[in-house]
Each structure stands twice: as C-alpha cells, then as structure tokens.
Structure 1
C-alpha cells in the first residue's frame, strides 16, 4: 500500500512537547534585584531552649539605680533623725518648794533637813525622755560653793510635753564646817534668810521611735532663799517657784 507523503497526527492525541517549560523568574525591581529577596527564605530557630540573653550592662545600671535610691532614702531618714536630735531641747527643771527643819549651826558643826519638790518638764513635742540617773547636790552659796548634802533620785520616764513632780530629801547631821562658813551662815540668819544652791546632774536618754541618744544634762538652781530666823530652826522658800538653768 502506498503511504501519503505528509501524514497528519491522529486526531485526539496531543502532540508531545519535546522540552519542559523553563521556570518562571520573578520580575526584577527597579534596583535590579528581585522583590522580597531577603525574605524569601526567613530564618527559623528550631531550638526551643534558646532564649535571647539580657544585656549585662542594662542589668548593672538598673541595680546601681536601685542601690542609689535605697541610699538616698536611708540618708534622708538619718538626716531627719539627726535634725530632731540637734533641735531637741533640754528638760526644764523648776524648784517648786523648799523647806528646812532642824537647822542649827554651832561649834563649827551644821545640822539640818531639806525637803524639796522639783518639777521636770519635757519641752519636746516629738521625743520622749528617760531619766536614767538623777543626782541632787545641795550647796551653801557663800563665801564659796560648799557641798552640804547629796542624794540620788529614782529613774523615771517622760512622754512628749509631760510634766513630772519629784520629791526629794537631803539632810546633814553634825557635819563639820569651817569658821568662815559658820560666821557667814550666822550673819545670813540675822537678816532672816539663808540662800542655798541646788545642782541636778542627770543622764537623760532622748527617744524617737527606735532611735536612742543618751546625753548628760546639768541644771543649776542658784540663790534659793529660805526664810530661817535666828530664833527658829525651820523655814520655807521665799517667793514663787524658781526655774533652774540647764546646760
């Protein structure tokens, strides 16, 4: 049988493409690089135990800032307490009354009994006081301060702005005095009055919350006149209560 010179493919069967189509390339951008070239294959961390580490310098600065704030707060508290302490006032001491009994001077020997009442006042509005030790010393003020008797009071506490009356007794029984002092006392009694001096030595603790500061306070009650006529051996303080000077 004779074949046709240009045979045609059979209908219904596609003509096989001899070569595959090349992959399509994305169109270049204006700068010559394909778009999203940097994000085509993003990096993924597949390690679940990895976490970004904090900056050591930032941690150090944060700790230094916190330490600085704490230091400022502590310093401010100390300065506040010191301001209260330096502005604290000494206690006020008054001698309200003083009476003398069995007072006698003869043959260079002195006898007598002094009953007195003191008033301690705390002038501070923020600090309480604790009187740990209180010593009283009685003097005859002329011709020089000569100690006659002394005693110690019981410790006591005071709140802010408190006032505390304290009674005390001092006595002398036949103590020796020189001729100069004997003559001076007899001269004073001839005028109907004898003057005495009282010294108060206290160890006081100033308290503000948990803060404590102990201070030594000395108070003087000078020229306390007592009316003691020569015909009697007893007398009372002349005038109203007397404020003592504290240092």
Structure 2
C-alpha cells in the first residue's frame, strides 16, 4: 500500500484558505463588507508639518512684551505712591467778614473779605497751584466769584491767601431773598458757602502729577443781624474739605 502524496515544501500556499462566510474580494481591493482597510503609510520622506505664520508669531511676541511692560510700569507706580504717598493740601478758612450787605427787591449787594490758609502736608513733594476760582454761595446759588493768584508751596509749607469778592445789585430769585431775610431775622446770622477750584501740580524730582482739586468750606456762619450791614465769621478758623 502506498502513502498518500505530500505537498511540496518550500513554497507557500498561493492563497489563504477561503472563508465560506466571506465573499471573495473583487478587483483586488479590500472587502467593503467587512469594513477593513489597509493602514495608510506616508511614503514621502520629505514631508514636513506646516510652519506657524511669522506675522502671528511677531504679534504674539509684541503682545507679551507690551503686557510685561505694563505690569512692570504698574508695579513701579505702586511702589512709588506707596513710598511717596501724595496727599491733598489742607485748607483752612481763617477769617471771613461781610460789609455793605443788602438784600432788597430781589437784589443782593455786598463785599466779602476772606483769608485762607493752605498747608502742604507732603514731606517729599512740593505743590504748584494754578489760578484758583473762588466763589461765594448761598444755598448752592453763586453770589460772587474771583480768581486767586497762582503760587508755589515747598514741602510742609504754609501759605496765607487774602481775597475779596464783591457784588452790586445782582438779581436773585425771590425765594432766595426771602430765605436770607428770614435767616437774619431768626438767628441774626447768615450761613455762606465758599468754594475754590484749582489745578494742583505735585512735584517730586522729575516726577509731575497734575490733578483737579476742589475745596469746600460749607456752612460758614457770619453774624449779620437785620439792623446791620456788616458782620464777621462766628467762631475760630474753619477747616475745609478737599477733593
């Protein structure tokens, strides 16, 4: 009895064993029914990923430099103001007198002589005051105004400024005139408000900072009975508010 023939060794089987449940491939492409595909391989060894836009890189770097500059500048200013600490001036109304005061027929006349003292509380900064607008009010209504001469102040200096405001026959509302007359008849005095506005420059070496400063001296009581046309401020000097 002869043995069955054996397949020849050294040569692989030309085709894989067929799968009865899988249809054969067509046209040499992978079978779409199985969802299998050959993995993609890049056969181009010279391919390189896309490079970033040079303009976008420059803009991004400039933005970083700008933000860093702002941060450093803000830190320097913070340290500077923490050390120097600029303070607004202290203002005192030393005296206020009224003469030739008259209210009749909705008209007001009078002259106000006042003395104001400015104090620089800064030990490291000098001050410069531009021409200040000085106005006298009653119940938020301006009666007269004038301008003060510009002046300088050294560190911790004090400056006394005299001013005169006058008005002659200016028209006021009837209710305002009645309010002044009633206040004089009841209390024998009138409460005036003094306002001053100026640009003040803070100086520290080469540093300059200019800001708007407003001074309020409110409710200044002046003894002014009905039988008199003149009077003086009641009490001692009055500290004003500065903003």
| TM-score of the aligned structures, taking structure 1 as reference length | 0.66
Matched, 1:177 2:198: no
Distance in 2 between the 1:233 and 1:217 partners? 33
Distance in 1 between the 2:235 and 2:77 partners? 46
Question: Does the residue aligned with 1:161 lie in a helix, a strand or coil?
Answer: coil
Alignment map for 1:88-107 (pairs within 5 Å): 88-107=86-105
Q: Which structure has the larger Rg over C-alpha atoms?
A: 1
- What is the CA distance between 1:112 and its match in structure 2? 0.2
Distance in 1 between the 2:189 and 2:120 partners? 32
Question: How many residues are aligned here?
Answer: 171
Corresponding residue for residue 152 of structure 2:
157
Distance in 2 between the 1:108 and 1:115 partners? 23
- What is the CA distance between 1:84 and its match in structure 2? 4.6
Among 215, 218, 233, which residue is 1:219 paired with? 215
CA RMSD, Structure 1 to Structure 2 (Å): 1.7
List, as ranges, runs of 4+ consecutive aligned residues in structure 1 with deviation greater than 2 Å: 74-85
Corresponding residue for residue 198 of structure 1:
194
8 A Cα contact 1:93 1:120, kept in partner: yes
Distance in 2 between the 1:211 and 1:116 partners? 34
- What is the CA distance between 1:214 and its match in structure 2? 0.3
8 A Cα contact 1:93 1:245, kept in partner: yes
8 A Cα contact 1:133 1:204, kept in partner: no
| Residue segments in structure 1 that go unaligned for 5+ positions in a row | 1-70
Per-residue deviation, residues 157-208 of structure 1 (Å, max 9, x unmatched): 0001111000000011000011101110001111210000011111000000
Distance in 2 between the 1:91 and 1:211 partners? 18
Question: Does the residue aligned with 1:89 lie in a helix, a strand or coil?
Answer: coil
Distance in 1 between the 2:218 and 2:76 partners? 41
- What is the CA distance between 1:221 and its match in structure 2? 0.3
Distance in 2 between the 1:126 and 1:84 partners? 10
8 A Cα contact 1:119 1:165, kept in partner: yes
Corresponding residue for residue 187 of structure 1:
182
Among 228, 237, 240, which residue is 1:232 paired with? 228
8 A Cα contact 1:135 1:153, kept in partner: yes
Distance in 2 between the 1:155 and 1:166 partners? 10
- What is the CA distance between 1:137 and its match in structure 2? 1.2
| TM-score of the aligned structures, taking structure 2 as reference length | 0.67
